[in-house]
Amino acid sequence: MSSDSLGTFIHRLSGVYRDPQRVLRDAESLLSSPLGSHLRPTTEPLTLNDGSSSPPVLLLRGTLPMTYRAVTYNLPIDCYLPPPYPLRPPTVFIRPVANMAIKENHRHVGLDGRVYLPYLHDWRPGTHDLRELAVWMSSLFGAEPPCYARPANANGSATSNGSHNNPPPYSQATVASSSHTSSHASSAYSSISTAASTSTHATNNTNNAQEEMRKALEREISEANMVAETARRAAAEEDRMEAAHKRMQREHEQELSSMRAHATSKVQFEIHALFMGVKEELRLELKNQKQLEFGKDRIEKLLNEGGERKGQLEEGNKEMDEAIGGLETWLVAVKEQKSTAADNGGKEERGQTKADLMALPVDTHSAQMLALSAENAAIDDCIYFLDRALVQGSISVEVFLKEVRKLSKRQFMAKGHLIKIAQTRAAEYR
């Protein structure tokens, strides 16, 4: 059908939909697709099971192709677009013809023919549309057909009592192949109805040829039911195996998780023990290193002190050698003086020693100290005798003071020189 005709229906339904452009766009997309080529738009009120109904809404009525065991069948459906569309999903019904019945306990289709799909349950206006819905229905119904073909002599009570559990979706005489069009499907449905009526009349007239045809048809339906039952059992077995596989996979994952946790705990324990051992070794190594550094510092300090002590001993040894040399020089001088005095006959009495030989200096400082001490003692004697002369009246007071001043200056200089020499010698012997 052209977009103008669909637009005419949408125009008639003005005020019913909040977004008529979205309704028009989704319907055109479905009708222009291979899955919706056999659908035709119309308008009809939507009546629900509770008796409530809506104003006339857009209805897409026709057949939806599905592939079951490599054969394409046309499934009659009604697709209603409710007024809140696209905020609410479309309402879809399976409309079986006279020789078809809806399979009981189907996962996605109720006994009233209403379709329940996860795609409809999770409907989102921004991501879901009618074209994807048709793909879902064709795929799911091809894997698990919602309808089956009833035998020509079956009545409603036999079907409701479950005399045909899980029959095939259609018989070869009641469905179209993938090459048939919608017109072929309609003629097939008409021929089935005619065949069923002819079979009924033939049964009433006890025609042998028609009886054989009915029996052949029953055998074909029975074989189809057996195939459907085998497929159902295979699907159940596949579900059971899949559940067992998932259970084994969960157990395997739990075992792996337990082994992983155990291995992690063991590795952490080993790492902790190794860390503590390395930490203790590092502590001992640091302690030994500190002791070695302390011993190294102490040894270096002792070596420095030993070097300084060695230098002091060498200097003391050198001074001692110099003193010994001076003493030897003094002894030589004394011997020479004694020899000279003996040669000259000496004027002094035997056993009397000259005052100059009683103290002989061994170095320059000693000679200076000896001379300064003698000068200090001489000045003391001079002052004493000046004092005696003043008392006796031999000199005047002016002369006494003048001479004492001169002598005092010389004595002060001599004593200061003596103190300076003593300090120098004390510093040398430290």
Segment 138-192, tens digit of pLDDT: 999 988 899 887 765 544 443 333 333 333 444 333 333 333 333 433 443 344 3
Q: Strand, helix or coil at 49?
A: coil
91-94/71-81 β-pairing: antiparallel
| Whole-number percent of the chain with pLDDT over 90 | 30
| pLDDT score, position 364 | 82
Structure tokens at 147: 């309808």
- Is residue 346 pLDDT above 60, yes or no? no
pLDDT single digits (tens) 64-114: 999 888 888 888 999 999 999 999 999 999 988 878 888 888 889 988 889
pLDDT single digits (tens) 249-285: 888 888 888 888 889 988 999 999 999 999 999 999 9
147-149/91-94 β-pairing: unpaired
At 357, is the pLDDT very low, low, confident or very high (cuts 50, 70, 90)? low
| Distance in angstroms (rounded) separating the CA atoms of residues 330 and 293 | 54
- Check if the beta carbon of residue 330 is closer than 8 Å to that of residue 362: yes
| pLDDT score, position 428 | 78
How far, in Å, are 70, 158, 169, 176, 371 from residue 172 at the CA level? 13, 21, 10, 8, 159
| pLDDT score, position 91 | 93
Angle at 187 (CA atoms; ends 184, 188), nearest 5 degrees: 85
Rounded mean pLDDT, 381-393: 90
For the whole model, what pTM was predicted?
0.39
| pLDDT score, position 163 | 37
At 360, is the pLDDT very low, low, confident or very high (cuts 50, 70, 90)? confident
Average pLDDT, the chain: 79
- Is residue 116 pLDDT above 60, yes or no? yes
| Distance in angstroms (rounded) separating the CA atoms of residues 229 and 146 | 14
- Check if the beta carbon of residue 65 is closer than 8 Å to that of residue 73: yes
- Residues contacting 73, CB < 8 A, separation 6+: 65, 66, 67, 145, 169, 170, 175, 176
- Is residue 6 pLDDT above 70, yes or no? yes
Q: How many CA atoms lie within 13 A of 229 on its CB side?
A: 9
